[in-house]
Structure 1
Amino acid sequence: MGIRTAVVTGAASGMGRLTAVRLARSGWRVAAVDLPGPQLDAVATETGAVPYPCDVSDAEQVAATADTVIERFGAIDRLVNAAGIAVPGRIEDLASRDFERSVDINYLGTVRWVQAVLPGMRSRGSGELVLFASLAGWMPTPAMGAYTATKFAVVGFAETLAMELRGSGITLRCVCPGAVQTPMLDDIMAHGISARLKNLSRAAAPEQVLDSIEASLVRRHAGIYVFPGIPTKMLWRIRRIAPGLLAGVVRRLSA
């Protein structure tokens, strides 16, 4: 197998940055996608990834960037959609623009990039789609309404996409970590979210999340969901079996 090409969105920070670093060090050609700025430039300098400034909330930019990557490298073998924002706050306290931005980046940004790379993958009968959702896509959390709604949307999108991809040769993974020790988590905690919620599921190291993704991709028939770590899997199962019980625990920890 020759050198493979990955597109990583949100590559300038957090899970996207760590994904770009790991893939580049593993011999992948990496198209690092994020808003223009010194953080994106730094990732490119550190890893040799090719920086592609792109606003995932802009459909025309996404389409043009995907075309440019394909023109340069010939094909996109893996999409890792890690671009995302979290705007903490109670629903009545958030501006409508906060919800619109969250949907535009977290959900529609995912949709746009999948639509941009999927035709090429279908024509080749191969490819990998790694979409970052969250345990928040299963478990509502007070003061995180804008974020959780978008992650519920990504989960529903992924399940539908999995049905449409059946027999295509394309591998899909929807990654649903709990708290991960990233700058995004630090920002959420700094904006008044109860620290006790963080203890509901011990914050995972980012490397654990990446290890779980790679292990799942090796097992082609592992199912679409990746729940990194035993606590995350347990919370997901409790949510499905006893949603009322888990909701009560979340309410108490949020008080």
Structure 2
Amino acid sequence: MNDHADQPGKRLQGRRIVVTGAAGGIGRSTARLFAQEGASVALLDRDKENLQVVAEELAGWAFPVDLTDDEAVTGAVGEAAAALSGIDGVVNAAGIMFQGLASEVSSKDWRRVIDINLTGTYNVVSASIPWLVQEPSATVVTIASAAGLLPNAPGLTAYAASKGGVVALSKALAAELAPKVRVNTVCPGMVDTAMADGFRANVGNYALNRLADPIEIARTILFLTSHESSYVTGAALAADGGRSFH
């Protein structure tokens, strides 16, 4: 076990983490927190300009890529592994929010949501497996959603299906990759990012009656990536301010 693991600011010392969706939102907050905790970070996002800004800030590596392009993802992950000299952690924070009633959503829009939120997650993990399984304590953490646990909001059918798929995928991977790789999901409610635009007033069924700050979700991801959660795998951890028990 890492000698620095229990020291503040050292919980990820020596870890080599790939973070997707790192150009903004939860991904950006997570990359910053992980760098502060001693990790080396490789950052993936399709937003090349903002991704480079984050990479420079954190002394990390930027790999612009469309996560729905499996060949491009394989190449980017390989480059990330070369830059980091291996991969022992993945955080899948990339995703999109989509609203529309099932009677109105086109099959094209449905596929786009599934491709980005679910297939994109699969592409990254699949490409990372050859490096992850070489490490004794590797981790994968994927951002799902409280909507994937309790899909009770009209107009979020495609989004809820994609995030429910992420939860199931992660549980299946947890079984498949054990005992070397721990795989978990974090299921936020609304978070104070651009994705919450248009929904910010909808916190009436949240016990904490507010949106989350991105750093609060990043800290949950940190827990599931660090040795502190060493006996946790296959979990879907609700970090939703009390939404999903309503």
Do Structure 1 and Structure 2 share a fold, with TM-score over 0.5? yes
For the residues of structure 2 that align with 1:209 and 1:76, how far apart are their CA atoms?
Answer: 22
For the residues of structure 1 that align with 2:125 and 2:242, how far apart are their CA atoms?
Answer: 29
**1:171 has 2:179 as partner:** no
For the residues of structure 2 that align with 1:44 and 1:226, how far apart are their CA atoms?
Answer: 28
Structure 1 stretch displaced more, 199-208 or 109-118: 199-208
For the residues of structure 1 that align with 2:47 and 2:218, how far apart are their CA atoms?
Answer: 25
Q: Secondary structure at the match of 1:203?
A: coil
**1:220 has 2:227 as partner:** no
Structure 1 position 229, deviation (Å): 5.7
Distance 1:99 1:28, change over 3 A: same
Alignment match, 1:129: 140
Alignment match, 1:105: 116
Q: Where do 4+ consecutive residues of structure 1 move more than 4 Å? A: none
Structure 1 position 135, deviation (Å): 0.6
Alignment match, 1:205: 213
**1:189 has 2:194 as partner:** no
The equivalences for 1:226-245 within 5 A come to 226-228=237-239, 231-232=242-243, 235=244, 238=245
Q: Does the CA-based 8 Å contact 1:86-1:146 persist in structure 2?
A: no
For the residues of structure 2 that align with 1:65 and 1:184, how far apart are their CA atoms?
Answer: 25
Structure 1 position 146, deviation (Å): 1.5
Structure 1 position 219, deviation (Å): 2.3
TM-score (norm 1): 0.83
Structure 1 position 214, deviation (Å): 2.4
Taking only the aligned residue pairs, the percentage that are identical comes to: 34
Q: Does the CA-based 8 Å contact 1:138-1:152 persist in structure 2?
A: yes
Q: Secondary structure at the match of 1:94?
A: coil
Higher relative contact order (CA 8 A, sep 6+): 2
Question: In structure 1, what residue type is equivalent to 2:218?
Answer: L
Higher alpha-carbon Rg: 1
Aligned-residue CA RMSD in angstroms?
Answer: 1.9
Structure 1 position 95, deviation (Å): 2.4
Q: Secondary structure at the match of 2:35?
A: helix
**1:16 has 2:21 as partner:** no
Structure 1 position 230, deviation (Å): 5.7
TM-score (norm 2): 0.85
Structure 1 position 48, deviation (Å): 1.7
| CA distances 1:37-85 after superposition (whole Å, capped 9, x unpaired) | 3211221222222110011000001000111111222211110000101
Q: Give 5+ residue unaligned stretches, structure 2.
A: 3-12
